[in-house]
Structure 1
């Protein structure tokens, strides 16, 4: 080879390579080296096939001729061939199953070929492997080699160990390479927690699933086709888009409008996850967003890929700033996702169907229907996440759960706004019901907002702060009005509560302005009273005369000073502007109101708002020597004079209603504000705003502080005569002339908000209980959602340890649990049951649910949910069993049934054992209950039911119970009652074995006995030969049948005799514990079962021809050691004697004995 060291890009042409044939460049064609011409090979087909084939055979001496059968019919795959195909294509399990499914659809598989065998193909090998400390290895090599069909000779195999950067592998290699390698050890060298998955892949995968699920003939997919016309059809069909294209669709409203309800629901969920989870920030309610995505994609029919399941089950591992670093810039790192596994922990699922409310029927309501019903699920998920987190012990964590509830409600409200655009296609009743539900959900959202603002006062810290009211206030010399107000809010909890109510109402108004900006609309112009100005200019130019009522000057005070008006158009503009400013002030947006006034050319009015700021000089808080650059002074030193003037302005009748209300809000004049109030919120805000203003003003005037100048300006006496207290305010609201205000005050959420604001929690709980005492709520009534709200509210009250009545709170929670049961939301009930304060109520409530479950799978799942919720499983199961037994379980044992079939009543009783077998701690109870049921069923001749109960009991139940006894009691002797239970179980075990053995013999004797061949019709030689062959075959079958029958007979005889000769007596207790009912049942069983077994034994021996052994039954019955004759009635003894007589006659006829049963000589 050539040495290329020392050469660079410029001198590489000087490298001399060796003259190798494998490295010689191809020779270019020229005149001397022409391009070769290839002849037409068609003539080859004319050569005799036989001659060519024979010549080839002669040239290949090792050729072994074979005959290949060719057919035009399809060659079907058997199981071996299908497995080989999957192996040759190197397909994983999912792909191999898909291939087999497609071949099955084309009828290319043999009937016995299974394409789903790949699902569990590793199960037979799992038992040979174990894992310790992250290393998976084979604990026994010989069985796994034999299981693969290879002979295991240790000397023929060697171990090969390979270590790479990703893993450590250990395999067995065959010395002769006749068999493939066998993996026997594997250990990943990379921590599974460090396996990363970029968020971009998840985003693109979700988009691909969404597009694939779209209707290709629908408007949505057609819009995508038109928008991205430059993409190929294949890319559009499978949904291959990059992030810039996805962002274009997110910003395009037309794309969203082209969707139907299900598509829009899934798209909105995807956008929410992309912005609030896969973006730069993770929303607090990210779990709800992801669950909404899973549900909406499922409803759309998306194929749920592993990425979506990863998103669902590992959302807690995603970092907070998932999209902080772009993944699409070359050379820039992306923010990784932590991937621990790809298994999804799905939400509990049951086979029951949930009813669809009648008032939400219709295709146009699909999205709203889904979201409204999902409110129950979303609230449950939020509560469950909160209860499982450590933050449930902190005030901030509780407050965060309240915000989650708000987010859930606001999403449903937004979906209603979207639905309202298509309301023309809905029926009038549907529109009315939707509006009612929308109103209820809006008020629920407002109430959760109120709870958020009152949270600090509702917590224990807020209640403890009330102690400051009784403490003696120190005389403190405050330096400013601002410090006085801050101190008042610090020590007076009532003022803090009033301020929280005002902030809540202003927040609602602000949100309303954000949703409906037209409510505060004003003309976008920067000239004040331009129409009046135009008329004045025309008057000065002597073009038109001046109207008498029109002002002659243009300063802001001209209308008030001259007692004249602006032009009609300007008056309308002023009214619109005043209304806009009022709504801004109503929402607490003073700065926005000032900006609006400045934009429309009224800076003087904007400056009025500055006069109400509390005076504060921050330079008083620092030492004089530290003041180098004095801080600016805040507020208005002459605020008292400003307030007096603004009060007078609010009383000026020449101003419109909204302008007077604005001045009244600034000066605390309630009578000037109320005419502008049209709703309950407005009226309450005005009253509390003025009440808070009076508190501030009173505190400022009665607390000494630095003031430059004389005493403060006295306000009108009516200001101090405004007797405003919460009770008086709400009483006035009840008496207002506006009907809508009175109606809301008496509504459910109006009453709830009233009790919350006035701190009447006990009265609120009483009121809520009274709502649900009479009648049941249903889906057509939004009271179902009201019950959901009240339940989560009382749970919230308990978490912040409010002094509420636990019994009444439990009543509300139980009502919600009953509602969830009616709606078949069984998976949620465990969480709410655990929130009950009374433990016995928890047991009763959850037990009632378990009795309604339709199948064993749902029962087990509900018990798992209860266990996760921390409920007492043993008590719940015991209560359920007692309830089921209480349904006519104590019936008369003399009521003998004529039918052995299982009734619904019997199946429900047998189900008791399934409950008790859920937990090993309940095994002793399961055994006791099972034996009691067996006694009951056998006493009523229900053998099949008794047998089913016995089969449900584990075969090793006695060993488990004895081990439990040893672990708890040591080597001490078992108790008397336990000994009785053990013997009773062994007695039943022997009895059922005897009955099963007799049934096996009976079935074989009468159904498996060979039939003799028919005699030949002809007497010719051939018929005789055939007949002899058949007879010979029949004789062989009879010999085989006789041997097997003898085995069955002997087994049945021994097992029946084991019951009759049971040690200590069958069904006799070892210790008499005084249980009269149990003893009566067992005595009845002895009288029923022992004679019956004797007669079965006789029929078995008689049919088999053992007449002499039949006589031994009589000896066994009359034996004084067992005294079985005492269990026979007179009729049964008579029947037994007759049977003995019959056996004696048959024996004498066969000359085996005389009539007395003695052998004949």
Structure 2
């Protein structure tokens, strides 16, 4: 089984300078609040996945069991709280636990490549033949797995309070009437105490006995519904219903350990003429004078549908009834094919041969019963249905849509981590949608864990898109540490981050339509998009290997006409003295070196131009402020002092010492032509 892919791009992190990461400049920008609110379960599931993703998936200590145990813990906590006792959240966690259980059972079977067949010969018991049939027929095995799952998730029936002997009050009434020598023929109560008396005499039990019998039959059916066969037999014996206990035990398939070469110490057990027993149960299930739960009990034992469906109350009940009928039919047909059952002995259940799990689940979605219809359309049950029918790709598409709805605020939160075999493209799309949900919900710290499960190229694109929206410095530092932890290709992700921001700014800032010949004042505040692009460039300060990328992509920003204010901000935040390295200006003759040299000298030119502009602006301010002040000055000494101040403050040279340090002549950028004094 392919699980969520864990891709290792083998990216090198030797160049990731952690000291530089810690010393990244502090920004005054405030990160936007989360678009939606996500619960702590997202963090907990991520922690479980991170801890156990490389261990076994199945088994008591596997990843799926950890998910199940966490769900149980959450549900138990809610049930213990008075505030949440009637909360729908309890039902949601219950459904989620059941889903993890279903995935565990079905997929542990689906991924198992081979099963050992039992030794079969001409005289093998039916139970051995059934075992071989399940091994050789995966579909039938899955039906049985689903049936057992539906039994096990059924809540334990309430305890039945046993008051005494069977039909205690009716028994006492008959005894008293006999003592009083009263005739019993005209009485509405039965006058005999054998199990068939009410049906044969068409008479009643005492009201108290009748009420207990009704509760007993319902409890007995619920025990069979939950798969607790032994307890059902025990309660029959405890209440004196020995005939019903014998009927229940008729469902045990015959086996003989001696014939089957089985070392079991159980000895010979089961019913040799089981088909005759099934016919009896089927006939009893059609007796309308019997209690509905008694008829449903006999119907469940023989695989009947009509009698069982009459007492079903939930989506799980209906699915169990159909699965039970399908399993009984499949076993019967297999034994008939093997010659173990004569055609005349087969119990014919109407329409059972034409039903299938996909059609059953589809019918439940469109059920006339509103309660069942609502249950079937509940998101978690839709997930269960898709898992049962192996429509996992459809499941992923539904989950993808659901995640988008949650992100857009149009759906309630209902997320599962379905680590199952699916089309890889659909799987990647689901992970992408889940990452976007986490980002919208402020769960940035667990995003890299899921990004690492994507293919290399896709992980770069998705992670870069995520990083492009992070402006808080501490969050940036955290992301760089997490990227290193999960071995993400951080260098290419950061390069792609800048590209994404540039492309987005080009669309949103609309720089071409707003272009004028007038220069934006260098002291004005840059636009939001200008700052966003500069902040994107600052991502790459974390690695020395990205210095050239910063220079190259910064030149693109510098070239934006009239953006003097943005250029000055960029110059202050990304100083050329830090970025320009010796190897960029070496005189080695090669196309690559020549390209580096040209971009480095261009960057130096822009930097020098910004310094010149800023000094000119400072000089102009001094002159303007000085001329206004000098009119009020009378003392010539003060006038001379003012002139001296102007000379000192405007005497700075435009980094000539730096320019002379390079062996080639630096061409002045065309921006100089735009300077107006």
Q: Does TM-score exceed 0.5, indicating one fold?
A: yes
CA contact under 8 A between 2:166 and 2:240: conserved in structure 1?
A: yes
Aligned to 1:923, which of 530, 540, 547?
547
SS of the aligned residue for 2:39 comes to helix
Aligned to 2:345, which of 714, 723, 743?
714
Note the C-alpha offset of 1:585. Answer: 0.7
Distance in 2 between residues matched to 1:1057 and 1:683, nearest whole Å? 87
Matches within 5 A, 1:521-920: 521-542=159-180, 546=184, 548-622=187-261, 632-703=267-338, 714-718=345-349, 723-730=354-361, 733=364, 737-769=368-400, 777-778=408-409, 783-786=411-414, 788-789=415-416, 792-793=417-418, 796-797=419-420, 801-802=421-422, 804=423, 806-837=424-455, 839-886=456-503, 887-888=505-506, 892=515, 894-905=517-528, 906-920=530-544
Distance in 2 between residues matched to 1:1064 and 1:724, nearest whole Å? 85
Residues 558/501 of structure 1: CA separation in 2 closer, same or farther (3 Å cut): same
Cα deviations by residue, 1:645-681 (Å, 9 ceiling, x for unpaired): 3333323333211111111111222222221212121
Note the C-alpha offset of 1:610. Answer: 1.8
Aligned to 2:667, which of 1050, 1061, 1067?
1067
Distance in 2 between residues matched to 1:974 and 1:771, nearest whole Å? 49
Residues 644/894 of structure 1: CA separation in 2 closer, same or farther (3 Å cut): same
Residues 618/1055 of structure 1: CA separation in 2 closer, same or farther (3 Å cut): closer
CA RMSD of aligned residues (A): 4.3
Distance in 1 between residues matched to 2:442 and 2:95, nearest whole Å? 27
TM-score, normalised on structure 1?
0.48
Distance in 2 between residues matched to 1:975 and 1:818, nearest whole Å? 40
1:1027 matched residue in structure 2? none
Distance in 2 between residues matched to 1:412 and 1:448, nearest whole Å? 14
1:381 matched residue in structure 2? 47
5+ unaligned residues in a row in structure 1: which ranges?
1-349, 358-371, 424-430, 514-518, 1008-1030, 1069-1081, 1093-1131, 1133-1161
Distance in 1 between residues matched to 2:657 and 2:347, nearest whole Å? 112
CA contact under 8 A between 1:694 and 1:720: conserved in structure 2?
A: no
Larger Rg: 1
1:1078 matched residue in structure 2? none
Segment of structure 1 superposing worse, 686-695 or 646-655 = 646-655
Distance in 1 between residues matched to 2:333 and 2:343, nearest whole Å? 12
Note the C-alpha offset of 1:1058. Answer: 7.4
Note the C-alpha offset of 1:941. Answer: 6.3
Residues 380/475 of structure 1: CA separation in 2 closer, same or farther (3 Å cut): closer
Residues 954/479 of structure 1: CA separation in 2 closer, same or farther (3 Å cut): farther
Segment of structure 1 superposing worse, 992-1001 or 595-604 = 992-1001
CA contact under 8 A between 1:640 and 1:712: conserved in structure 2?
A: no
Residues 896/595 of structure 1: CA separation in 2 closer, same or farther (3 Å cut): same
Cα deviations by residue, 1:918-949 (Å, 9 ceiling, x for unpaired): 23322210122234434548863666324314
Residues 420/700 of structure 1: CA separation in 2 closer, same or farther (3 Å cut): farther
Distance in 1 between residues matched to 2:352 and 2:621, nearest whole Å? 103
Distance in 2 between residues matched to 1:693 and 1:563, nearest whole Å? 32
2:594 matched residue in structure 1? 976
Note the C-alpha offset of 1:1061. Answer: 12
Residues 870/477 of structure 1: CA separation in 2 closer, same or farther (3 Å cut): farther
Distance in 2 between residues matched to 1:630 and 1:447, nearest whole Å? 37
SS of the aligned residue for 2:163 comes to coil
Matches within 5 A, 1:3-82: none
SS of the aligned residue for 1:614 comes to coil
5+ unaligned residues in a row in structure 2: which ranges?
1-29, 626-636
Residues 351/720 of structure 1: CA separation in 2 closer, same or farther (3 Å cut): closer
Distance in 2 between residues matched to 1:352 and 1:943, nearest whole Å? 26
Note the C-alpha offset of 1:881. Answer: 0.9
Residues 1059/442 of structure 1: CA separation in 2 closer, same or farther (3 Å cut): same
The answer to whether the aligner puts 1:487 opposite 2:141 as a matched pair is no
Distance in 2 between residues matched to 1:840 and 1:630, nearest whole Å? 60
Cα deviations by residue, 1:326-355 (Å, 9 ceiling, x for unpaired): xxxxxxxxxxxxxxxxxxxxxxxx987658
1:449 matched residue in structure 2? 101
CA contact under 8 A between 2:571 and 2:607: conserved in structure 1?
A: no
Aligned to 2:72, which of 401, 406, 410?
410
* Greater length-normalized contact order (CA 8 Å, ≥ 6 residues apart): 2
Note the C-alpha offset of 1:897. Answer: 1.0
Residues 984/659 of structure 1: CA separation in 2 closer, same or farther (3 Å cut): same
Distance in 1 between residues matched to 2:364 and 2:600, nearest whole Å? 75
Residues 633/988 of structure 1: CA separation in 2 closer, same or farther (3 Å cut): same
Distance in 1 between residues matched to 2:65 and 2:236, nearest whole Å? 35
CA contact under 8 A between 2:568 and 2:610: conserved in structure 1?
A: no
Cα deviations by residue, 1:132-173 (Å, 9 ceiling, x for unpaired): xxxxxxxxxxxxxxxxxxxxxxxxxxxxxxxxxxxxxxxxxx
Matches within 5 A, 1:153-172: none
Distance in 2 between residues matched to 1:496 and 1:784, nearest whole Å? 35
Matches within 5 A, 1:424-503: 434-435=87-88, 437-459=89-111, 461=112, 476-503=121-148
Matches within 5 A, 1:313-352: none
CA contact under 8 A between 1:611 and 1:635: conserved in structure 2?
A: yes
Residues 682/1064 of structure 1: CA separation in 2 closer, same or farther (3 Å cut): closer
Distance in 2 between residues matched to 1:717 and 1:946, nearest whole Å? 84
Distance in 1 between residues matched to 2:590 and 2:661, nearest whole Å? 30
Residues 933/751 of structure 1: CA separation in 2 closer, same or farther (3 Å cut): closer
